[in-house]
Amino acid sequence: MSYPSVRKAVFPAAGLGTRFLPATKATPKEMLPIVDAPLIQYAIEEVAAAGIEEVIIVTGRGKRAIEDHFDLSFELDYFLEQHGKSHMLDSTYALLDRVQISYVRQRQPLGLGHAVACGRRLVGDEPFAVVLADDLIHATPSCLAQMVQVYEQHGASVVAAQRVEPAQTGRYGIVDGEPAGERTVRVRAMVEKPDPAEAPSNLAIVGRYILTPELFDEIERVNPGSGGEIQLTDALVALLAHQSIYAYEFTGTRYDAGDKLGFLQATVEYALRNEELGDRFRAYLKGLAAGL
């Protein structure tokens, strides 16, 4: 049996980024740089590597910098060309040749589920990915490419999952399920941020999803929770009542770059992998460690 391919990805990017204030007062958290590229560019590169062609970014007030980043800048392009530095934007423009980016505005911060629903008209009646840019994942093949294979095998929604320390279950949606293949679990239940003593497992959902379009109907039916927010996990639980959902324990390294410590860890490790900076930065760190 064949299923529609995954061609579109929704990027919820309307959050206020309060964990990084004051840096995010006027700068979107998705535009915070890891070495020399913003978080959202790494995430869109992951989408492109998975063969996804269309990106829908759900923005909000104060997020104009995201649109400007993925647009031409005639003055800057001219300056760089005149100074023999036009190659400095090659990676960004090459990415724009691979994906089409559209934007939709979330007028109020009413939760992740609501942000995803804002993309419904552009997604249409087909499966789609959801990507949280501040979950930065370094993997070969990319995390989403791995998940697309699982989706194509099962023809059902897939959530990215990672084992966490039992004490950390209260920070995540946790899944309970039964083995359904290599690194894959067929989900029986989902629990949002359970107390460690009540968590059914330590398999946590992280910021990558491939979802069937029926999820949009479930989002519309979900009752708002605390603060009037519509939670994506609640809609997934409702979808689970009549569709299978799989959790895939991807291979790769995830950085919670929406957290200050995770952001610093990502910066250091991406700098060490950088062809231009890696050797010098490694030498610097060794010297720094020797002096501590």
pLDDT tens-digit profile, the chain (292 residues)? 456 789 999 999 988 888 988 988 889 999 999 998 999 999 999 999 999 999 999 998 888 999 988 887 767 766 767 777 767 676 777 788 899 999 999 988 788 999 999 999 999 999 999 999 999 999 999 999 999 999 999 999 999 999 999 888 988 889 999 999 889 999 999 988 888 888 889 999 999 999 999 999 999 998 887 677 898 999 999 999 999 999 999 999 999 999 999 999 999 999 999 999 999 999 999 999 887 7
**Would you state the pLDDT for residue 69?**
86
- pTM, two decimals, is 0.91
**Would you state the pLDDT for residue 83?**
73
**Would you state the pLDDT for residue 1?**
44
Q: Which residues are CB-contacts of 147 (< 8 A; sequence separation ≥ 6)? A: 50, 129, 158, 160, 208, 210, 248, 250
| Domain residue ranges in the chain | 8-258
Burial 195-213 (b: 16+ CB within 10 A, else e): eeeebebbbbbbbbbbbbe
Q: Could you tell me the CATH superfamily of domain 8-258?
A: Spore Coat Polysaccharide Biosynthesis Protein SpsA; Chain A (3.90.550.10)
Helix (H) or strand (E) holding 266: helix 260-273
Other beta carbons within 10 Å of 53? 14
Q: Which residues are CB-contacts of 209 (< 8 A; sequence separation ≥ 6)? A: 129, 130, 131, 157, 158, 159, 160, 232
